Structure 1
């Protein structure tokens, strides 16, 4: 899998008018994100903090996401997330903030690449917009901010990061790709089942950007290496799948199978 950095902005989203055959379930590769027959992505306000102004795309093809990840989210996690939705919403906000912070740290540490700087700047803007949007959702729900400890997920991958450059940077970007892909997969899973259409609509809207981010990270990682990054991607695919599939005592947006909750 040699990734062309010039193709990092290619989207996997396809658009067409919904039909009776477009009914989607959680296991479908193509998720139907239309709320009604009049949904039109061109009328969306992509940079609006007000989520009522956002229009989800009609279709998001998640086949690349599902093929990239080594495991699918379990029904046990989905059930636990539904029962603890406030916690999941706040941890989602934490994830957006951490993603922006990570990109900001990288933009100061690796100033040698124009493409890297430009893409990181775009990611920072987008992640902080999402953070502000989720804060708005919490405010609307009357949900106070509470302390949440970090889960094991990111740490479980970062402990395998190599310690020399540019290998360390390549690993960080590959890890970022898996975090973004998992976020997208879980947004799709939750959007299909949560009993909150406003929140479900927002998760469908996020599928557009999240399904693109993992490819951006992979393209940046490949651009820093003269050799294929396939071996490292395969390695982290196995690590990430284990973290998602094994029992986890803390419920978080990227946690494993919930136990003792």
Structure 2
């Protein structure tokens, strides 16, 4: 095992320990049966992640650490969007609008409205979303064709770093540990991941 492989494996182990549950096999089956839809929604997710990072930069202009981390994250997410879009175009898939999964909205409904609580919660939610994305990429890799498997494997390191960055920013905003808020949002996340959904999306629960 080389250093890069070892680093990714360690990051995945940390993420598996952080998340409340693994992605259900039914969702993986849904994804494999709907790969065009998965790629389209994945592209939307990357675009939304970049937009979220930019909006945080506009809102918290005096937080230098946040500005630096969100600037890098936005660039990386937009690059990922371009990469997904290239695969979509290569496979002659029609990129189109999709209704969003209930996942992100379900997590954000309990975000506090006033700072610093709001910033803490937004960062915790960001960490959870990035961790789940990383976990799902890794879960899919063994079942995908070589092109997609290589691409999703290449995303693992950056997604794991994004998870850590969000969590560190949450602790900075809270001036200390955020274990209680993390536990509350992970409880919500577990239900969103395990309960059935009516439509397949990259962050949906199992369908069917």
2 CA distance for matches of 1:109 and 1:245? 33
1:234 Cα deviation after fit: 0.7
Q: What aligned pairs does 1:197-212 form with structure 2 within 5 A after superposition?
A: 197-212=146-161
Give the structure with the higher percent helix.
2
Which residue of the partner structure matches residue 23 of structure 1? none
1:250 Cα deviation after fit: 1.3
Q: TM-score, normalised by structure 2?
A: 0.96
Matched, 1:215 2:174: no
Q: TM-score, normalised by structure 1?
A: 0.76
3-state DSSP of counterpart to 2:101: coil
1:227 Cα deviation after fit: 3.7
Matched, 1:230 2:176: no
Among residues 59, 69, 94, which one is paired with 1:109 in the alignment? 59
Q: Which has the larger radius of gyration?
A: 1
3-state DSSP of counterpart to 1:58: helix
1 CA distance for matches of 2:160 and 2:115? 28
Unaligned runs of 5+ in 2: none
Q: What aligned pairs does 1:131-146 form with structure 2 within 5 A after superposition?
A: 131-146=81-96
Native 8 Å contact 2:125 2:185 kept in 1: yes
3-state DSSP of counterpart to 2:41: helix
Matched, 1:185 2:135: yes
Q: What aligned pairs does 1:1-261 form with structure 2 within 5 A after superposition?
A: 16=2, 57-59=4-6, 60-61=8-9, 62-194=12-144, 196-259=145-208
Say what the alpha-carbon RMSD is for the aligned residues: 1.1
2 CA distance for matches of 1:154 and 1:130? 19
Q: Which digits, 9 at most, give the CA deviation of each residue in 1:218-255, with x for residues without a partner? A: 00111111242110011111111110011111110010
